[in-house]
């Protein structure tokens, strides 16, 4: 194994015309903003080879003739990794990843916190790799009164330094130009180390370099510390172990000595090139806001108000566009039923395709509003404060403040939320977070909540602005959160892992949200909902139409013949008889037989056989509930000028009692809050835990909990 031969870099560029550039930096340094600004929408997301860590790549056009693949590596504070994502970045930087190497490294450094950022920067420089430093947060540094001599820092570091502002697209053209110059070897790699690495462990370093002549002194230190994690043959592993023993090499002592020397050199560089204001000067606006938002009393009150406004807004803002979409599909169905001939394909079009589409499109406004508001909270910097406020509570149930971010992300979708638990270092806390995150009410549950709340909860306003429906919606989300905390408190006694837990969180500054980013996120999430959830809903809607329109044996034919005779005998009762026929045909269809089979199990929860079918189809995706209801009631009622909500409102049992009463509606909502009805979530839990044990436990406890709680709620009400 050897480092990249940089003498041939430009020749490689000439031949391939596609560089590989690794984008690295500390968390919250502006790395993601720079990646987005450099690549635009020309990005793709996958996983790094062999490990479930997100890999974002994009194409960077450097100068028209030269393009690069920009690889956004996970954020890390130094070259001493602890988490799985930090190991990914570390191995790429050390050329220890057999599947991924980088020709150039672009390091993002926060100009307002150079001391911390330059530790990582100096370590990478001493690896003797081509490096370009992109200096971000210059506007924040200016607000703090920090003045930076960029040319002086560039001279002392020995690598090009380019100030940029990704939010305003400033400095990006110059950064591309400098990257192109580095690719063409117009900048040379510094010959002098940032610190005297050789003196840290001179004999051991020289011995390693005899095995790997191309290694820099600092890279040799890392081979001594982490060689077990590098893809080396066994004889080289043993040779390095022998070097460690002969020289009494102490990794902890070496690391501490190296970092101390780096900070001493960094202090000298900053004293020479950076002018900072008196620390006793007035605090920044961010500090004043944190005195309020992180207050031990007001902070929690503000958090509750923010969550309250979030869920109220889902109803306030989405009401009229949802009504408009629902009215449009009702009119479309009515028009098609009056225009098209009475045939199986028109029945399929109206009761299968159009009914399924209405179950998708009507909830787009709420999906967009939910993701838009969450993006505003993230972009403004407040989301990180929620983690800080929640840490004390989280620790009591076996979690920590870092668990909050995946759990809040679970309000959008459990799949990426579970993947984001990778930044939780403690294995037990990470596993607990994975196990309870699906209890957060994801956006797939939102359509279910919306239609059930509109059915059984009156549209009442208190004090003229407090919506009762919005309060119930907030209650459902809080129920999921409370149950997650209770389950975590129980599970922590069963999961036996002893490991120290730390909660270190960097709070980003408060910023005005990037409204363009909010708008793009809303549109993209709507597209994903229509494309991903929509495909599942449509497929199941069409399958359900078939199962609902056809049945076994001659029962359907006998029903048709019987009711044809009745209609001929009682033509004045034709409309009523047609509705009665449709209802009986649905009950005798394949779907009806399936529903009637499971009805005894779910009847104690207040559910009828149609709801039973919806519960089964919801295991593919929760949002399929609405599409299932739309198809079943369209097939049965045959009323194209009546909305789904009205059809469900009118639904009755054979004894004339209503199906969707207050107890039944609340029971069904509670079931959907707690049940594990998402195959994708189970799949990602298996992938993240590398075992079927945990997704099986998760499915059993969530389904059992949902059944018991729904039973209790139904009989209480």
CATH number of the domain within which 39 lies = 3.40.50.300
Q: What is the 3-state secondary structure (H, E, C) of 286-329?
A: HHHHHHHHCCCCHHHHHHHHHHHHHHHHHHHCCHHHHHHHHHHH
* pLDDT level of residue 560 (50, 70, 90 thresholds): confident
Average of pLDDT values for 62-83? 84
* Cβ pair 120, 128 in contact under 8 A: no
Q: Residue 708: its pLDDT value, please?
A: 95
Q: Report in angstroms the alpha-carbon separations of 212 from 130, 205, 220, 447.
A: 19, 10, 8, 60
Same domain for 180 and 161: yes
568: Cα separation from own chain's centroid: 60
Residue 488 has pLDDT above 60, yes or no: yes
Q: Residue 654 domain-assigned?
A: no
Compute the radius of gyration of the chain from its Cα atoms.
31
Q: Residue 641: its pLDDT value, please?
A: 53
Q: Among 38-42, 266-270, 399-403, name the most confident range.
A: 266-270
Cα 430 from Cα 488, distance rounded (Å): 11
Same domain for 175 and 38: yes
Residue 260 has pLDDT above 70, yes or no: yes
Q: Residue 406: its pLDDT value, please?
A: 78
The whole model's pTM is what?
A: 0.58
Q: Residue 171 domain-assigned?
A: yes
Q: Residue 318 domain-assigned?
A: no
* pLDDT level of residue 505 (50, 70, 90 thresholds): low
| 250, 275, 300 - which closes a domain | 275
Residue 348 has pLDDT above 80, yes or no: no
> At 344, which helix (H) or strand (E)?
helix 344-347
Q: Residue 504: its pLDDT value, please?
A: 56
Supply φ then ψ for residue 651, to 5 degrees: -60, 135
Q: Residue 4: its pLDDT value, please?
A: 38
Average of pLDDT values for 664-679? 89
pLDDT in tens, 453-468: 888 888 888 777 677 8
pLDDT in tens, 361-388: 776 787 788 778 878 887 788 877 877 7
Q: Residue 133 domain-assigned?
A: yes
Q: Residue 542 domain-assigned?
A: no
Structure tokens, 686? 């298996």
Q: Residue 706: its pLDDT value, please?
A: 93
| 148, 176, 192 - which closes a domain | 192
| 260, 275, 290 - which closes a domain | 275
Structure tokens, 685? 């839990």
Same domain for 150 and 52: yes
Same domain for 167 and 86: yes
Same domain for 174 and 28: yes
Same domain for 228 and 136: no
Contacts of 520 (CB under 8 A, 6+ apart): none
Q: Residue 422 domain-assigned?
A: no
Q: Residue 265 domain-assigned?
A: yes
Q: Residue 315: its pLDDT value, please?
A: 61
Residue 13 has pLDDT above 50, yes or no: no
Residue 16 has pLDDT above 60, yes or no: no
Same domain for 61 and 138: yes
Average of pLDDT values for 87-93? 89
Whole-number percent of the chain with pLDDT over 70: 83
Average of pLDDT values for 229-234? 88
67 vs 423, residue with greater confidence? 67
Q: Among 50-54, 219-223, 585-589, name the most confident range.
A: 219-223
Same domain for 78 and 147: yes
Q: Residue 587 domain-assigned?
A: no
Same domain for 208 and 176: no
Structure tokens, 525? 């999430």
Contacts of 492 (CB under 8 A, 6+ apart): 397, 398, 428, 432
Structure tokens, 649? 């409102």
Say which range, 166-175, 380-389, 394-403, 413-422, has the weakest mean pLDDT.
413-422
Kindly tell me the burial class for residue 698, based on how many C-beta atoms sit within 10 Å of its own C-beta (0-12, 13-18, 19 or more): buried
Q: Residue 1: its pLDDT value, please?
A: 40
Same domain for 268 and 143: no
Average of pLDDT values for 606-630? 76
User: Which domain range does residue 205 map to?
Assistant: 198-275
Same domain for 59 and 10: yes
Same domain for 25 and 98: yes
Q: Which residues pair with 61 in a beta bridge?
A: 67
Q: Residue 420: its pLDDT value, please?
A: 67
**What domain count does the chain have?**
2
Q: Residue 511: its pLDDT value, please?
A: 75
Strands of 18-25's sheet in order across: 43-47, 54-61, 67-72, 18-25, 104-110, 131-136, 161-163
């Amino acid at each position: 194994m050897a480092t990249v031969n940089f003498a041939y870099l430009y020749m490689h560029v000439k031949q391939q015309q596609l560089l590989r550039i690794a984008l690295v930096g500390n968390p919250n340094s502006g790395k993601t903003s720079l990646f987005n600004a450099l690549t635009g929408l020309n990005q793709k997301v996958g996983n790094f080879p062999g490990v479930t860590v997100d890999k974002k790549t994009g194409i960077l056009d450097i100068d028209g003739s030269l393009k690069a693949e920009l690889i956004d590596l996970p954020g890390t504070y130094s070259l001493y990794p602890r988490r799985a994502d930090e190991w990914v970045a570390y191995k790429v930087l050390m050329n220890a990843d057999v599947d991924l190497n980088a020709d150039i490294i672009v390091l993002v450094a926060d100009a307002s916190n150079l001391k911390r950022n330059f530790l990582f920067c100096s370590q990478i420089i001493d690896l003797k790799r081509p490096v370009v430093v992109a200096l971000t947060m210059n506007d924040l540094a200016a607000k703090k009164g920090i003045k930076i001599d960029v040319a002086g820092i560039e001279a002392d570091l020995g690598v090009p330094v380019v100030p940029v502002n990704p939010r305003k697209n400033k400095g990006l053209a110059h950064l591309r130009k400098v990257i192109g110059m580095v690719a063409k070897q117009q900048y040379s790699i510094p010959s002098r180390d940032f610190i005297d690495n050789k003196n840290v462990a001179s004999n051991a370093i020289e011995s390693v370099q005899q095995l790997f002549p191309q290694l820099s002194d600092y890279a040799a230190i890392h081979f001594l510390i982490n060689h077990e994690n590098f893809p080396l043959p066994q004889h080289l592993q043993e040779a390095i172990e022998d070097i460690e023993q002969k020289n009494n090499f102490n990794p902890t002592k070496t690391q501490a000595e190296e970092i101390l020397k780096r900070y001493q050199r960094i202090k000298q560089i900053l004293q020479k090139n950076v002018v900072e204001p008196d620390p006793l000067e007035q605090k920044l606006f961010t500090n004043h806001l944190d005195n309020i938002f992180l207050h031990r009393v007001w902070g929690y009150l503000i958090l509750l108000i923010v969550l309250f406004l979030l869920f109220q807004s889902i109803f306030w803002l989405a009401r009229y566009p949802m009504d408009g979409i629902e009215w449009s599909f009702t009119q479309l169905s009515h028009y098609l039923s009056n225009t098209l001939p009475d045939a199986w394909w028109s029945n399929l079009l109206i009761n299968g395709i159009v009914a399924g589409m209405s179950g998708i499109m009507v909830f787009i406004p709420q999906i967009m509003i939910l993701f838009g508001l969450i993006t505003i909270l993230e972009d403004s910097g407040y989301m990180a404060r929620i983690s800080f406020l929640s840490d004390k509570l989280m620790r009591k149930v076996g979690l920590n403040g870092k668990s909050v971010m995946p759990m809040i992300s679970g309000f959008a979708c459990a799949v990426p939320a579970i993947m984001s638990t990778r930044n939780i270092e403690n294995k037990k806390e990470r596993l607990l977070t994975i196990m309870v995150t699906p209890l957060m009410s994801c956006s797939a549950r939102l359509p279910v909540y919306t239609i059930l709340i509109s059915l059984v909860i009156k549209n009442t306003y208190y004090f003229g602005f407090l919506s009762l429906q919005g309060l119930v919606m907030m209650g459902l989300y809080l129920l999921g959160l409370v149950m997650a905390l209770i389950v975590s408190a129980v599970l922590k006694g069963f999961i036996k892992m002893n490991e120290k837990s730390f909660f270190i969180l960097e709070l980003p500054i408060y910023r005005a949200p990037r409204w363009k980013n909010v708008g793009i996120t809303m549109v993209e999430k709507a597209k994903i909902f229509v494309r991903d959830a929509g495909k599942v809903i449509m497929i199941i809607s069409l399958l359900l139409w078939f199962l609902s329109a056809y049945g076994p044996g001659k029962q359907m034919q006998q029903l048709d013949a019987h009711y044809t005779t009745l209609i001929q005998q009682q033509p004045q009762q034709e409309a009523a008889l047609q509705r009665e026929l449709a209802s009986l045909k649905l009950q005798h269809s394949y779907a009806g037989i399936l529903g009637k089979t499971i009805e005894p199990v779910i009847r104690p929860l207040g559910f009828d056989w149609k709801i039973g079918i919806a519960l089964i189809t919801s295991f593919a995706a929760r949002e399929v509930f609405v599409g299932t209801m739309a198809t079943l009631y369209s097939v049965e009622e045959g009323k194209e000028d009546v909305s789904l909500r009205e059809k469900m409102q009118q639904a009755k049992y054979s004894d004339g009692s209503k199906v969707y009463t207050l107890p039944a509606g609340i029971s069904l909502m509670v079931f959907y809050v707690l049940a594990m009805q998402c195959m994708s979530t189970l799949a990602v839990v298996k992938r993240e835990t590398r075992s079927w044990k945990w997704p099986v436990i998760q499915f059993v406890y969530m389904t059992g909990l949902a059944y018991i709680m729904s039973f209790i709620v139904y009989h209480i009400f």
